[in-house]
Amino acid sequence: MNFWEYLGSRQQQLLADAYQHASAVFQCMVLATVIGVVIGVVTYRSDWAGNLATTATSTVLTVPSLALIGLLVPVVGLGVPPTVIALTLYGLLPIVRNAIVGLRGVDPMLVDAARGIGMSRAMRLVRVELPLAWPPILTGIRVSTQMLMGIAAIAAYASGPGLGNEIFRGLASLGSKNALNQVLAGTLGIIILALLFDAAYVLIGRLTIPRGIRV
């Protein structure tokens, strides 16, 4: 059967896998964003702390995704847990780095002005610094999401959810009539999801970033 016939015959399964893939990436990005921004807020005022945070999160990226998931399986089991942990860890670096850069790039005069009108440190952070640092933080989130879309496919190795299952099934049955169709369907599905997520981030940027500070 050709590729289009294969898509028609496997439509429901492919849609289910695509939904699971998108859901896993979205949930892990929420976790990575919260953790990454908190790390950025805690460390951006100190050069050594900021460098330590960036180095620690970048070190995670040096570990092959298949190896990291394989190491997590004996600890947390198969399925969703190793997927969530691995994707969250891999998603941290761009967010942490951009949060630190964004917060350090806020004009000190604006912070002083906010202090001058009686804002507490927490209020200055929430109402002045984080909103001005939001554009680079959003860029970090976009970069992380694109990375995780591909890495999430490896989760199928540990019985994780998503389109990686389609790719792994195809690779495991190379030479069969539908092997190439399976790999192609999973790969194209991930690419389409990545483009949809990126389009959503562009829209979020237009809605949340004032025109005057858009990059």
Q: What angle do CA 102, 124, 112 make, to 5 degrees?
A: 90
pLDDT category at 159 given cuts 50, 70, 90 is confident
Per-residue model confidence as pLDDT tens digits over 52-72: 999 999 999 899 888 888 888
**Closest C-alpha to 24, from 137, 153, 140:** 153
pLDDT category at 214 given cuts 50, 70, 90 is low
Taking the whole predicted model, whether its pTM rises above 0.85 is answered as: yes
Among 23-37, 145-159, 180-194, the least confident range: 145-159
CATH of region 3-213: 1.10.3720.10
Domain boundaries, the chain: 3-213
181 contacts 1 by C-beta, under 8 angstroms:
yes
DSSP 8-state symbol, 174: T
Question: Which pLDDT belongs to residue 99?
Answer: 96
Residue 201 DSSP SS3:
helix
189 contacts 18 by C-beta, under 8 angstroms:
yes
